[in-house]
Amino acid sequence: GEALSGAKKEISYQVGQDSERIQVSIPPGIVSGKKLRLREKGSRHINGQRGDLILTVQIQS
């Protein structure tokens, strides 16, 4: 399935009071438990910069 061939998935998540949607590229051959880092898509730091969003992959059969 998609875990073997890779895919693009749209996800929604909360950042503070805001809800965001992004498109995530899932690499081919990924396994459950693997973490993906999305740079500057996480929470805002006190200086205004965004942190990284870490996603943990779960494969559903």
pLDDT tens string 7-33: 899 999 998 888 999 999 999 989 999
Domain that holds residue 32: 2-56
Residues whose CB falls within 8 Å of the CB of residue 49, separated by 6 or more in sequence, listed in order: 40
Domain count, the chain: 1
Please count the CA atoms within 13 angstroms of the CA of 7 that sit on its side-chain side.
Answer: 10
Q: How far apart are CA 25 and CA 44, in angstroms?
A: 23
Note whether residue 61 is domain-resident. Answer: no
**H or E element in which residue 4 lies:** helix 2-5
The pTM of the whole model exceeds 0.85: no
What rounded mean pLDDT belongs to the chain?
91
Q: Flag whether 51 is in a domain.
A: yes
